[in-house]
Amino acid sequence: MIRKKLPRNNKRRKKTEADLATFKLIINNTGQFIVEQSLYPKDKINLHFRKENAGLISAMLRESKIKFDDIKDIYEILLKELS
């Protein structure tokens, strides 16, 4: 069976969604837990989002960081208690 390559559209598309904040609890193959958090860069907010949304996005990122740090602390306490 011969596979045909689909033509690629090289035009840039405007994205309609963005990951502003992510939090992951990961376990690796040696049994170690890893907490990974990611926040959208504050210096890129005005570049990628509308001006009227920039204040709300900045506030959401600020609050997300606080909550992520709280969750991370809770996980660390829980892991100490379970080990």
pLDDT surpasses 80 at 4 = no
Cα(20)–Cα(65) distance, integer angstroms: 11
> How many structural domains does the chain have?
1
Q: Has residue 39 been placed in a domain?
A: no
- How is residue 36 annotated by DSSP? E
Q: Has residue 48 been placed in a domain?
A: yes
pLDDT of residue 12: 73
Cα(15)–Cα(9) distance, integer angstroms: 15
| 35 vs 12, higher pLDDT | 35
Q: Has residue 27 been placed in a domain?
A: no
Q: Which domain holds residue 75?
A: 44-83
Q: Has residue 66 been placed in a domain?
A: yes
pLDDT of residue 6: 67
3-state secondary structure of 33: strand
Q: Has residue 59 been placed in a domain?
A: yes
Q: Has residue 80 been placed in a domain?
A: yes
Q: Has residue 54 been placed in a domain?
A: yes
Q: Long-range contacts: 3-8, Cβ < 8 Å, 24+?
A: none
| 13 vs 53, higher pLDDT | 53
Q: What is the pLDDT of residues 18-73, one digit of tens each?
A: 899 999 999 999 988 889 999 999 999 999 999 999 999 999 999 999 999 999 99
Q: Has residue 76 been placed in a domain?
A: yes
Model's pTM, two decimal places?
0.72
